[in-house]
């Protein structure tokens, strides 16, 4: 039953921001990349080697997540290091990990 005027209703601006993040994260390779970058900084080449994508594909994924505010980057000489910059991503990954564990226990 729909409850109108609930105090815990999501703010429309927050919903719009989260929807953009969810759209961006809808690609399996991007999920693998943020899981890899969670809690650490890595260079593009290190991300590429770990996920097994081409340099162009890896760079494109990193760039899209950076522009969405999911990742942050910094220069280190000639290299660019990336890390997860969105607290929402950490919560999403935790939720996915817990759900996967529960589903595997039920199987």
Q: How many Å apart are CA 16 and CA 54, to the nearest integer?
A: 31
Q: How many Å apart are CA 86 and CA 70, to the nearest integer?
A: 5
Q: How many Å apart are CA 9 and CA 2, to the nearest integer?
A: 11
Q: How many Å apart are CA 104 and CA 107, to the nearest integer?
A: 5
Q: How far is CA 14 from CA 2, 10, 21, 66, in A?
A: 20, 7, 11, 18
pLDDT band at residue 4, thresholds of 50, 70 and 90? low
The reported pTM is: 0.85
Q: What is the pLDDT of residue 3?
A: 58
Q: What is the pLDDT of residues 36-95, one digit of tens each?
A: 999 999 999 999 999 999 999 999 999 999 999 999 999 999 999 999 999 999 999 999
């Amino acid at each position: 039953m729909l409850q109108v005027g609930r105090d815990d209703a999501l703010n429309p601006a927050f919903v719009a921001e989260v929807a953009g993040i969810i759209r961006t994260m809808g690609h399996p390779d991007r999920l693998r990349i943020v899981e890899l970058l969670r809690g650490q900084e890595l260079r593009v080449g290190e991300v590429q080697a770990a996920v097994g994508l081409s340099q162009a594909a890896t760079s494109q994924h990193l760039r899209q997540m950076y522009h969405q505010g999911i990742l942050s980057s910094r220069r280190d000489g000639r290299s660019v290091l990336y890390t997860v910059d969105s607290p929402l991503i950490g919560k999403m990954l935790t939720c996915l990990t817990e759900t996967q564990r529960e589903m595997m226990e039920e199987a």
